[in-house]
């Protein structure tokens, strides 16, 4: 177990380091600096600015200092929001930034994963029933249509036409303003989870150990809950790693659609103001989350799949 | 010589792989209809802007926000521009970005994957580790970063989109190459003294075409979605030029004029579904398994 975790860490750490190196070089090796382009600054002011943001040091020194900052959990300073650290922008004291994104992503994951597994199992157990056909068809449809289309259409239907829910904005962060965004995000991933579970349980039910369990005379409920569930979940868990990265990005797109004040708005602000450091910080933070989550999924996998232990 | 054999000799290609694949594809009604729909839509995107009496960029403030009717088929937007023309010119841009990006993805992905798979050993290991590292970066942030760095232009927006989308393609191609690598015809080429590059270009890549076509049909809709998502972030295509993503984004800002959202959304949705069905049909027709 410890050896397994150690091995995974041994892969995760260099990966994270390479990502930081790559993205950092990409940002800092491009010609020009963030203070070009606006109204011409006098050479003294420019020099002062470059010095203040350490941009006058050689590249390797900048990188070294940046990694040093990262190891202390510090993502650096924003170029455009004067005097604000990026940590403060991503994790503000009040509701906003990453907290909004996290809330959106985790609510929809909490709905998507269990519900998807239940729906998938049910439709796999009742193969070719009308329910099963609906699940397969809706997977086809909803994996083709992105959130940027379903989101606004849902607003058009539920908010503008019927007026049941607020169209956009965070409001007081209550149930009503989160309802449509969470629904839009859930809709994008629920069918995938359901269909993967369905395929998995169909495979498992055809395998020998299930036949043996049935031949022993076990009741169907026991066959399913005692024997079939665990191997069914293995492919679903391996889906969760990439899905988390997807949900994170999906949450940001959803925020953009529903005008929620999360990471998405922050990224857009950074991009339109050409605030490299902010976009760099958010990118590295996102990669960090992705790698951490993949690591956790690997460990979960370890508990589910006895074959890894050998 | 029996008549059956002479029949085969007369038409040596009668049972070729591609003919079989084409027959299987054309028998699949849903895929065929979707394919024709895409062709038709692409054709409309090319000719509608020429035929229409409206220009996509000229404002006409007297006729702003006209609901759909006989003068404006899809209605008009806040500046009085005809949405019908704008939808199709937006479709043209969307298709251009998607196809150009797909081409770049194909080029990088196929070359990278086939080289990694064919060379094997530590070269393969290093190349695939690079792919793993790039997988760790959330694609949206990375493309936003690229667009922030290199400024915004049409060409760059699809390069950014493509630069992060070739990873899956490289993995698929590598897997396929690994299975081809020890086939007899490759070893025969080796024995004859053909160089590595020649083998990859002449023998490996032509045998990958089936897989690559199936996969490309999945890449195109992904590129459409990704470029639309970037439009939502205010990146990529700029006014007065437009794309489906930009039109949907604008439409969702102004919900009381429902047509601004509905028509571009319908066009994009139907296109994405059509691509999904075509990809399905291609997989059934081309996949050897």
Inter-chain touch B235–A271, beta carbons under 8 Å: yes
The residue assigned the tokens 């990873």 is B167
Please give the pLDDT value at position B1.
46
- pLDDT > 70: percent of chain A: 91
Enumerate residue ranges in chain B where pLDDT < 50: 1
Closest CA of chain A from B196, distance in Å: 30
Please give the pLDDT value at position A170.
60
> Is residue B132 within 8 angstroms of chain A, CB to CB?
yes
Closest CA of chain B from A212, distance in Å: 30
Angle between helices B139-150 and A229-258 (to 10 degrees): 30
ipTM of the complex: 0.79
| Inter-residue contact B21 to B286 (CB < 8 Å) | yes
- pTM comes to 0.83
Other C-beta atoms closer than 10 Å to the C-beta of B16 total: 11
Inter-chain touch A291–B136, beta carbons under 8 Å: yes
Closest CA of chain B from A224, distance in Å: 30
The pair of three-digit structure tokens given for residue A177, joined into one six-digit string: 């303003």
Residues 6+ apart with CB under 8 A from A151: A180, A181, A184, A254, A257, A258, B252
> Is residue B107 within 8 angstroms of chain A, CB to CB?
no
- Of A75 and B168, the one with more pLDDT: B168
The pair of three-digit structure tokens given for residue A71, joined into one six-digit string: 């190891």
Residues 6+ apart with CB under 8 A from B205: B110, B114
| Inter-residue contact A228 to A205 (CB < 8 Å) | yes
| Inter-residue contact B116 to B176 (CB < 8 Å) | no
Q: What is the pLDDT of residues A161-219, one digit of tens each?
A: 777 777 666 666 666 778 888 888 898 889 889 999 999 999 998 888 888 888 988 88
Q: What is the pLDDT of residues A16-74, one digit of tens each?
A: 888 888 888 888 776 666 666 556 667 777 777 777 777 777 778 888 888 888 888 77
Strand partners, B76: B82
**Scanning every residue of chain B, which has its alpha carbon at the shortest distance from the alpha carbon of A247?**
B138
Cα gap B222→A77, rounded to integer Å: 34
Q: What is the pLDDT of residues B152-198, one digit of tens each?
A: 666 776 777 787 788 888 988 998 898 888 888 888 888 888 888 88
Chain A from 254 to 273: CB within 8 A of any B CB: 256-257, 264, 267-268, 270-272
Task: Write down the H helix ranges in chain A.
Answer: 2-28, 43-52, 59-71, 86-90, 98-125, 130-144, 147-154, 175-205, 208-215, 220-222, 229-258, 263-272, 276-304, 306-309
| Inter-residue contact A204 to A175 (CB < 8 Å) | no
Q: Where does residue A11 rank: exposed (0-12), middle (13-18), buried (19+ CB within 10 A)?
A: middle
């Amino acid at each position: 177990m410890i050896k397994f975790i150690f091995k995974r860490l041994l892969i995760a750490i260099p990966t994270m380091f390479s990502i930081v190196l790559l993205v950092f070089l990409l940002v800092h090796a491009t010609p020009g600096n963030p203070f070009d382009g606006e109204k011409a600054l006098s050479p003294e002011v420019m020099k002062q600015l470059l010095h203040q943001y350490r941009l006058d040091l050689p590249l390797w020194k900048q990188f070294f200092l940046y990694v040093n900052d990262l190891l202390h959990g510090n993502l650096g300073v924003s170029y455009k929001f004067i005097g604000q650290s990026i940590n403060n922008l991503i994790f503000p004291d009040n509701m906003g930034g990453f907290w909004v994104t996290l809330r959106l992503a985790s609510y929809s994951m909490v709905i998507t994963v269990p519900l998807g597994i239940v729906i998938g199992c049910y439709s796999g157990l009742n193969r070719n029933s009308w329910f099963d056909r609906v699940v397969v068809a809706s997977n086809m449809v909803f994996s083709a249509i992105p959130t940027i289309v379903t989101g606004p259409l849902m607003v058009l239907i539920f908010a503008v036409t019927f007026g049941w829910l607020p169209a956009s904005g965070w409001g007081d962060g209550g149930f009503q303003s989160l309802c449509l965004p969470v629904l839009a995000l859930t809709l994008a991933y629920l069918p995938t989870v359901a269909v993967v579970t369905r395929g998995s349980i169909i495979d498992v039910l055809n395998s020998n150990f299930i036949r043996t369990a049935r031949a022993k005379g076990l009741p169907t409920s026991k066959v399913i809950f005692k024997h079939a569930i665990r191997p069914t979940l293995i492919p679903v868990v391996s889906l969760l790693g990439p899905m988390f990265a997807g949900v994170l990005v999906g949450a940001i797109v959803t925020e953009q659609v529903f005008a929620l004040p999360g990471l998405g708005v922050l990224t857009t602000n950074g991009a339109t103001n050409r605030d490299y450091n902010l976009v760099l910080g958010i990118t590295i933070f996102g990669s960090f989350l992705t790698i951490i989550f993949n690591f956790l999924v690997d460990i979960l996998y370890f508990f589910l799949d006895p074959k890894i232990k050998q | 010589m029996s008549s059956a054999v002479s029949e085969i000799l007369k038409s040596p290609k009668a049972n070729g792989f591609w003919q079989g694949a084409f027959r299987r594809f054309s028998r699949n009604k849903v895929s065929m209809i979707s394919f024709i729909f895409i062709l038709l839509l692409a054709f409309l995107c090319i000719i509608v802007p020429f035929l229409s009496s409206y220009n996509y960029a000229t404002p006409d403030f007297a006729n702003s926000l006209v609901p759909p009717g006989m003068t404006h088929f899809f209605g008009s937007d806040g500046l009085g521009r005809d949405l019908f023309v704008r939808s199709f010119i937006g479709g043209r841009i969307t298709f251009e970005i998607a196809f150009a990006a797909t081409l770049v993805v194909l080029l990088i992905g196929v070359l990278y994957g086939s080289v990694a798979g064919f060379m094997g050993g530590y070269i393969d290991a290093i190349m695939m580790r690079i792919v793993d590292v790039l997988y760790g970066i959330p694609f949206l942030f990375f493309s936003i970063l690229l667009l922030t760095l290199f400024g915004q232009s049409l060409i760059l927006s699809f390069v950014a989109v493509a630069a992060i989308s070739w990873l899956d393609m490289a993995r698929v191609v590598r897997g396929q190459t690994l299975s081809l690598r020890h086939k007899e015809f490759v070893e025969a080429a080796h024995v004859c003294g053909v160089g590595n590059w020649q083998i990859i270009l002449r023998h490996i890549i032509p045998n990958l075409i089936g897989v690559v076509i199936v996969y490309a049909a999945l890449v195109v809709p992904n590129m459409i979605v990704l470029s639309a998502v970037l439009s939502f972030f205010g990146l990529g295509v700029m006014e007065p030029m437009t794309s489906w993503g930009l039109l949907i984004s604008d439409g969702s800002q102004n919900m009381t004029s429902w047509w601004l959202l509905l028509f571009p959304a319908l066009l994009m949705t139907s296109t994405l579904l059509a691509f999904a069905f075509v990809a399905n049909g291609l997989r059934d027709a081309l996949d050897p398994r």
